[in-house]
């Protein structure tokens, strides 16, 4: 039985670290998609075949082969409640697709939750590595190391011409999705964001919200990732994302300097108003909380608020999601009840009165 450690704290241990350019880049992620040669892809597999895939891949993890990269725990999704699955999604440890999968779904989590190996999601195997700040190259190095371990033990579906075969044609080739989660409030406030993101899409990268494809960019959080997996080497994919992300970081820094030099009083007023509303509001929906937390985070990064930490704000981003709210208060809630509890939790956290792991 899983320890349920993942549901006891909002921030994974890796998120408590501070990475390069962490005032702008929240996290870096690399995900590798793989399938086993002698089994149908998950969408066509029978229950028995899905269980065989799960048993084969979890056996590799439990054999000690992964020991060189850390300690791991295998979690069988059928043993979790719907709420616990939702918490895993909100912490970015599994995808919404896997949360809804009942046939042989599992996740192999590293102790600090920086590595999440999903089994029987859209593909048989999805290796995900997460790092704080701007460390996409480091995330790729670790993901590649884990991929090599599995490839030594499992027979991957591979074609000499097309590369690694995947359920979705857009992943064929390297099977790599690399991304950075960026907080870009200054580019939004200076109305440069549309021009920047348009340029990003023209060089083969995708822009999504906090929870990936189909999600809205709430709280000025944007996920920038590669779209092309075929026809480029792994290094070319990583280098392209790294180069573009570095340019976006520089644009955001310049926009922040411009705001401070040209509109300091207005920015300080915006930051303090949002802090005041978060500190005293009785009801707060998820969209408003995301925007207000973004304002406060910008204020912290610009030195306009000294008694709030970026880590406590990162924690609130996760804790105010619907699943984690219900997990924290141990009760099933309507939308109105969640809005009330969300406001209560934020008030307590900002006032330093919470006992739910606040910074």
Q: Which residues are annotated as a binding site?
A: 27-31, 92, 126, 177-181, 208-213
Q: How far is residue 317's CA from residue 159's CA, in Å, rounded to a whole number? A: 42
CA 23 to chain centre: 16
Annotated binding site for ATP: which residue ranges?
A: 27-31, 92, 126, 177-181, 208-213
SS (H, E, C) the chain: CCCCHHHCCCCCHHHHCCCCCCCCEEEEEEEEEECECCCCCHHHCCHHHHHHHHHHHHHHHHCCCCHHHCCEEEEEHHHCCHHHHHHHHHCCCCCHHHHCCCCCCEEEEECCCCEEEEECCCCCEEEEEEEECCCHHHHHHHHHHHHHHHHHHCCECEECCCEECCCCHHHCECCEEEEEEEECHHHHHCCCHHHHHHHHHHCCEEEEECCECCCCCHHHEEEEEECCCCCCCHHHHHHHHHHHHHHHHHHHHHHHHHHHHHCHHHHHHHHHHHHHHHHHCCCCCHHHHHHHHHHHHHHHHCCCCCCCCHHHHHHHHHHCCHHHHHHHHCCCCCHHHHHHHHHHHHHHHHCCCCCCCCC
């Amino acid at each position: 039985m899983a320890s349920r450690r993942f549901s006891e704290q909002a921030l994974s241990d890796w998120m408590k670290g501070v990475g390069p350019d962490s005032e702008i880049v929240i996290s870096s992620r690399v995900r590798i998609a793989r399938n086993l040669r002698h089994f149908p892809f998950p969408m066509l597999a029978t229950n028995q075949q899905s269980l065989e895939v799960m048993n084969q891949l979890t056996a590799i993890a439990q054999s000690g082969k992964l020991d060189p990269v850390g300690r791991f725990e295998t979690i069988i999704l059928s043993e979790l409640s719907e709420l616990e699955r939702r918490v895993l999604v909100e912490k970015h440890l599994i995808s919404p697709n896997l949360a809804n999968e009942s046939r042989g779904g599992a996740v192999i989590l590293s102790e600090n939750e920086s590595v999440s190996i999903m089994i029987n999601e859209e593909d048989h195997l999805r290796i995900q590595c997460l790092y704080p700040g701007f460390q996409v190259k480091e995330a790729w190095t670790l993901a590649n190391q884990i991929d090599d371990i599995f490839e030594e033990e499992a027979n991957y579906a591979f074609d000499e011409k097309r590369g690694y075969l995947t359920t979705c044609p857009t992943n064929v080739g390297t099977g790599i999705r690399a991304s950075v989660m960026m907080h870009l409030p200054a580019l939004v406030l200076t109305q440069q964001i549309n021009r920047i993101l348009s340029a990003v899409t023209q060089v083969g990268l995708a822009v999504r919200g906090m929870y990936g494809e189909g999600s809205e960019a709430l709280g000025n959080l944007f996920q920038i990732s590669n779209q092309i997996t075929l026809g480029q080497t792994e290094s070319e994919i990583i280098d392209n994302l790294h180069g573009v992300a570095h340019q976006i970081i520089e644009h955001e820094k310049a926009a922040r300097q411009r705001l401070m030099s040209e509109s300091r009083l207005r920015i300080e007023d915006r930051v303090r108003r949002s802090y005041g509303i978060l500190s005293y509001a009785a009801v707060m929906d998820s969209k408003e909380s995301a925007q207000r937390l973004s304002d406060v985070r910008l204020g912290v990064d610009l030195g306009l608020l000294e008694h709030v930490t970026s880590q406590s704000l990162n924690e609130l981003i996760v804790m105010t999601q619907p699943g984690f709210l219900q997990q924290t208060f141990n009760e099933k809630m309507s939308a109105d009840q969640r809005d009330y509890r969300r406001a209560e939790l934020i008030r307590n956290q900002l006032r330093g009165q919470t006992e739910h792991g606040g910074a």
